[in-house]
Amino acid sequence: MSAAQVLGIDFGGTKVALATADAGSPMVSSTPLRMPTTGGADEVVRRSLEAARGLVAAPVAVGVSTIGVVRGDRIRLAPNVPGWEGIELPRMLRDEYGDTPVMIDNDVNAAAAAELRWGALRGVDVGAYVNLGTGLAAALVVGGRVVGGAHGAAGEIGYLLDPATDDCYADGHAPLEELVSGSALASRGSALVGRPVAAAELFTMAGDPRVDALIDGALRRLAQAVANLCITLDPERVAVGGGMMGAADRILPRIAALLSRAVPFPPQLVPARFIDDAPLLGALALAAEAAASRRYVQPWPGPSGQPRSRPTS
């Protein structure tokens, strides 16, 4: 193993993934190590940092991808993962790595960083990355960099409102995510067909009118959301990634058709280069940036105060 290594850590909802890379050319150089997120959140972080020491004793920089939104010294907007809301992950990383350069960001922004550095958004000045997975979110690129907004929550399109209801964040809802995401489709599809089905399976059940209507409605809302995002941002390219891209042949044409009609200057719509392990590769991209900056970097420092209460019921 090279003496100069960077470390990437991806804290996901069900697993943690870790990998190292050569500092001079940070693509994965070790077999990724994967660990289940069993136990309390603090315990998960401690076990992950212990495992990271076994991969590389003294990384020259560390990149970290996490669920939720990094805000001050805490993780926010992570109500679906027990114990993660409010965890002091940035402080724990500083305690572990001291003066070693570290960069931390949410998983979708990290995936976008990988696409910017090596993938479908390379060379793009203004663009967007849309992640269609268990949840739904986007990352916005301006000036060739991912932008986080005033509170690190730019691109949280899962909270976009549904015109048919008054449900919103303060009521414990993520209205668009509850219609379009993989978890939403799986839940609603399972209720329709009377047995557990994953979102990926629903896309293979063509001919069932109930499923066809569910998929059609979800894709319609998704295309509208992406079109509205493009009308607002005016990107040159939009990359779409995430676990639902197994059905890209149905998803991308539907989005592209509406973009061509609704957006004054339609962007290029492309599949993301990285589907598997995108946040982990993003963590390595963040590590590369941290190594270049030679300091601890938290993109959206701000105060650590909690956002307005969101009930979880």
Residue 60 has pLDDT above 90, yes or no: yes
Per-residue pLDDT of 276-313, as tens digits, reads 889 999 999 999 888 887 655 554 444 444 444 344 33
Residue 192 has pLDDT above 60, yes or no: yes
Residue 23 has pLDDT above 90, yes or no: no
If you average pLDDT over residues 168-195, what whole number do you get?
A: 93
Span between the terminal Cα atoms of the chain, in Å: 48
* 7 phi and psi angles, rounded to 5 deg: -120, 135
Sheet of 33-36, strand order: 33-36, 15-22, 5-11, 61-66, 102-106
Tell me which residue of 128, 180, 135 sits closest to 155, measured CA to CA.
128
Q: What is the DSSP letter of 88?
A: -
pLDDT at 311: 40
pLDDT at 269: 98
Rg (CA), the chain: 19
pLDDT at 291: 87
Domains along the chain? 5-109+277-293 (3.30.420.40), 122-271 (3.30.420.40)
From residue 9, alpha-carbon distances to 116, 128, 285, 295 in Å are 18, 23, 11, 17
Who has greater pLDDT, 13 or 35?
A: 35
Residue 180 has pLDDT above 90, yes or no: yes
Q: What is the DSSP letter of 6?
A: E
Strand partners, 238: 128, 269
Q: What is the DSSP letter of 214?
A: H
Answer left, alpha or beta for residue 152, where phi above 0 means left and psi between -120 and 50 means alpha: left
**What tokens appear for 43 in the block?**
């315990």
If you average pLDDT over residues 201-214, what whole number do you get?
A: 92
Give CA–CA dist 146/52, Å, rounded: 26
If you average pLDDT over residues 222-229, what whole number do you get?
A: 98
Give CA–CA dist 50/44, Å, rounded: 10
- The percent of residues in the chain predicted with pLDDT above 90, rounded, is 69
98-102, 246-250, 293-297: the lowest-pLDDT one: 293-297
43-52, 56-65, 286-295: the lowest-pLDDT one: 286-295
From residue 68, alpha-carbon distances to 8, 11, 110, 135 in Å are 17, 10, 12, 11
Residue 245 has pLDDT above 90, yes or no: yes
3 state DSSP class of 50? helix
pLDDT at 313: 34
152-169 burial, b at 16+ Cβ within 10 Å, e below that, comes to bbbbbbbbbeeeeeeeeb
**Which stretches does DSSP call E strand in 101-198?**
102-106, 126-132, 136-142, 145-147
pLDDT at 286: 93
Tell me which residue of 55, 58, 54, 95 sits closest to 73, measured CA to CA.
95
